[in-house]
Each structure stands twice: as structure tokens, then as C-alpha cells.
Amino acid sequence: MNIPLVDLYQQIQTIKASILNSVEQLLDSGAFIMGQDVLKLEENFCRLVSVEYAISCNSGTDALVLILEALGIGVGDEVITTPFTFFATAESISKVGAIPGKEKGSGLRYLKY
């Protein structure tokens, strides 16, 4: 039996009609950058996680880079992370000039990417 690690096709079927409807509305509105939908998303997210501000990003990678930059992490810093993640985690750390590392005493000092 072949069980795929990720089955996006099955996952998307349950929300496909809703997504297509939203994309059609977006195309008709012509508001491709920011706009009311983005504002609504950020407001809903604020309520969901009980925070005052939220900024949506185009990708998870950019979200991670923004977080690292907001924390002032850059060249010469080491960021401890898990090897059990998508490669974008270490990629984001490298992008700001820092070094992705793993917990001391757990084998390899630095992750190799």
C-alpha cells in the first residue's frame, strides 16, 4: 500500500469550491496587493490568537525572515533549530546571515545544508 507523505489533492477537494469562488472575486476586484481581503485576514488572525497586530506574508519563508530580522538576528548569530522541519527553516536563518545550529550535546554542532 502506498501512503503518500503529503496528499494535497485530497486535502484541497474539501475547500476547492470556496477557494475558486474567492479567487474569482479577487480577480474581479483587481485588488491583487493588500486590499480588504488581506485586512480582513489580519484582523481575523488577531482575534484568533488574541494579539493586537498581525502582518500577513506571501510565504512561510518570508514570515520566518521577518521574524528573525525583527529580533535583530543577523551575521554572527547562531539560531538553534530542529532538523525535523522543512528546509526553509534553516534557509531563512542563513538568509539573514546567521548560522542554523542544533542543540549542543545532541551530535552535530551545525546543521549541514
Q: Binding residues for ligand PLP, per CB under 6 A?
A: 59-61, 85-86, 88-89
- d(CA 70, CA 79) in angstroms, rounded, equals 14
Q: How far is the CB of 64 from ligand PLP (least distance, A)?
A: 6
Q: Which residue is nearest to ligand PLP (CB)?
A: 60
Instruction: Using the structure block, give the residue that is written with the C-alpha cell 542554523.
Output: 100
Q: How far is the CB of 87 from ligand PLP (least distance, A)?
A: 8
Q: How far is the CB of 63 from ligand PLP (least distance, A)?
A: 8
Backbone phi, psi, residue 92, to 5°? -65, -40
Residue type, 29: S
Q: How far is the CB of 28 from ligand PLP (least distance, A)?
A: 26
Residues 6+ apart with CB under 8 A from 113: 87, 90, 91, 94, 100
Pick between residue 60 and residue 74 the one whose CB is nearest to ligand PLP: 60
Pick between residue 10 and residue 58 the one whose CB is nearest to ligand PLP: 58
Pick between residue 86 and residue 113 the one whose CB is nearest to ligand PLP: 86
Distances (CA, A) of 31 to 16, 36, 38, 40, 70: 21, 8, 10, 13, 28
